Chain A
Amino acid sequence: MNHLLTMENLDRGTLESLLDEADDFAEVLTRPIPKVPALRGKTVATMFFEPSTRTRMSFEKAAKALSADTVSFSPGTSALSKGESLKDTVLTVRAMGVDLMIVRHQATGAPWRIAEWLDIPIINGGDGAHQHPTQALLDCLTIRQRFGSLDGLTIAIVGDVKHSRVARSDIFAMTALGAKVILVGPSTLLPLDPEAWPVTVTSNLDEVLDAVDVVYLLRVQTERGGASVFPSLAEYAVKYGMNTERLARLRPDAVVMHPGPMNRGVEIGYDVADDDRSLVLQQVTNGIAVRMAVLFRLIGGEQDA
């Protein structure tokens, strides 16, 4: 593995070994000093061309728990606002002696371009509405910790799949690990070619509630591509929101997940986010372990030939 750019081409063995290692690193995070010197002397750059405090913090925490140095880039305070090109920006940061870059960019494929331009491993920290591979890994780790395996589980991904990089990564990772994925939402928020994805689709959340092990809620935004895609937040909440009534209709062991940031009262009920069956905070914690595993895989120890 030279980069982590997408979940599309990762086989089950690779995914499982990454999750196994993430479990090991989760243990490190419980130690009195939750830190190991595995990446001492390495420098990791977080290049977030699109603002995201949470994901950046998670990557930085992961890098520091491995004793790597971190440098960070954000467009607001950089030469990018003075007209520097993306290519010059990343070449400049690379020249500072960076060993790995984590890239978040609003344009699909930007991490691939950067991987072509540079000679160091690149982690896709989210590109456009395309891919967000570490999110998929942390989601799968969280589900695996709860259920032991994803094999045979049924996972409903609810909401704006069409514009979601989280969903695009989760679909591939979850199905590769043996889960069945159902996409739930109005047709304006679902992929236009569901037959091309390893999923089934429905616009009726209530009809799948008692069949699923995991309800994975996506963040809602009302305007997309200049066209309105559903009538109102209130109507969305009625039809697709995970409220306490719907929570009660889930199987007793079913869980609720959300990649954050949440719109409480829209896609997730006010109380549902805090329910015992919400794994939202565990997802956040697991994000660090997963990112440690990916960092260690890419620049820790002897590299794969």
Chain B
Amino acid sequence: MRQVMSETELGRVTRRIAHEIVERNHGTENIVLVGILTRGKPFAERIAKVLSEIEGRPVLPGSLDIGMYRDDLDTRPKTRIGPTNIPESIDGRTVILADDVLFTGRTIRAALDALTDLGRPGAVQLAVVVDRGHRQLPIRADFVGKNIPTAAAERVSVRFEEIDGADGVWIDAGVEE
């Protein structure tokens, strides 16, 4: 397992993405920040913290559980559904979906379905820490911390202090799942 992004780098790309969000959206008034469970949530929270500092107004991050929306429910081990908690209405707003790794795109597809059941956003944008390629659906990220080309069998793990006890990104040479 090798580290490809340090704690410092993770902090740096988070701040960069926050600035890009402000720039692209002309501020934060119209955005709703939503982290996809599990590791999109701390990522969204960190972006929100930076956004609050930049704009001087609080941005409340939400969380989105997409477990029930997966297209591979029948073949995955059962996990508990997590809390979907979005503090504001998403109708007409720009939703920034935050996730740790963009891979096949299926998670984002499920998240878009889940959002649709919550309301009708004006636009949806996607922020990820790592884009590792291997897309299976026509989905791309609007904000990317780092593009890391990988082999399909490799495992990319983005870790956050509050969940994993450390910040950073690692790649595991990978065993076939």
Touch between chains A and B, by CB atoms below 8 Å: yes
Which residues of A are in contact with B by a Cβ distance under 8 Å? 20-21, 24-25, 27-28, 31-33, 35-38, 66, 297, 300-302
- Distance in angstroms from A49 CB to nearest chain B CB is 31
Give the contacting residue for A36; candidates B77, B78, B83, B117; CB below 8 A.
Answer: B117
Task: Add 16 more A-B contacts to A28-B68, A302-B78 (CB < 8 A).
Answer: A20-B80, A24-B81, A24-B83, A32-B117, A32-B118, A33-B116, A33-B117, A33-B118, A35-B117, A36-B69, A37-B69, A66-B68, A301-B74, A301-B77, A302-B76, A302-B77
Hey, what's the 0/1 contact readout for B55-99 against A, CB within 8 Å counting as 1? 000000000000111000111111111111100000000000000
B113 lies within 8 A of chain A by Cβ:
yes
Most buried by A among B68, B76, B79, B82: B68
Most buried by A among B82, B84, B113: B84
10 nearest A-B pairs in the assembled complex, by CB-CB distance: A36-B68, A38-B68, A301-B78, A33-B117, A24-B81, A301-B73, A302-B77, A32-B118, A37-B69, A32-B119
Query: Is there contact, CB below 8 Å, between B84 and A37?
Result: no
Query: Is there contact, CB below 8 Å, between A25 and B77?
Result: no
- Distance in angstroms from B63 CB to nearest chain A CB is 11
Query: Is there contact, CB below 8 Å, between A38 and B73?
Result: yes
Query: Is there contact, CB below 8 Å, between B81 and A28?
Result: yes
Most buried by B among A21, A66, A300: A300
Query: Is there contact, CB below 8 Å, between B73 and A300?
Result: yes
Give the contacting residue for B80; candidates A21, A28, A36, A302; CB below 8 A.
Answer: A21
- Distance in angstroms from B86 CB to nearest chain A CB is 9
A173 to B100, CA, bound (A): 41
A267 to B75, CA, bound (A): 49
Q: Answer whether A302 and B75 are a contact pair too, CB < 8 Å, given A27-B84, A28-B84, A31-B84.
A: yes
A90 to B77, CA, bound (A): 30
Closest residue of chain B to A17 (Cβ to Cβ) is B80
Query: Is there contact, CB below 8 Å, between A24 and B80?
Result: yes
> Given the complex, which residues of A lie within 8 Å of B117, measured CB to CB?
31-33, 35-36
Residues of chain B in range 21-74 having any CB-CB distance to chain A below 8 Å: 67-69, 73-74
Query: Is there contact, CB below 8 Å, between B76 and A301?
Result: yes
Closest residue of chain B to A40 (Cβ to Cβ) is B73
A16 to B46, CA, bound (A): 33
Closest residue of chain A to B78 (Cβ to Cβ) is A301
- Distance in angstroms from B82 CB to nearest chain A CB is 7
Give the contacting residue for A37; candidates B74, B75, B113; CB below 8 A.
Answer: B113
Give the contacting residue for A25; candidates B73, B81, B118, B119; CB below 8 A.
Answer: B81
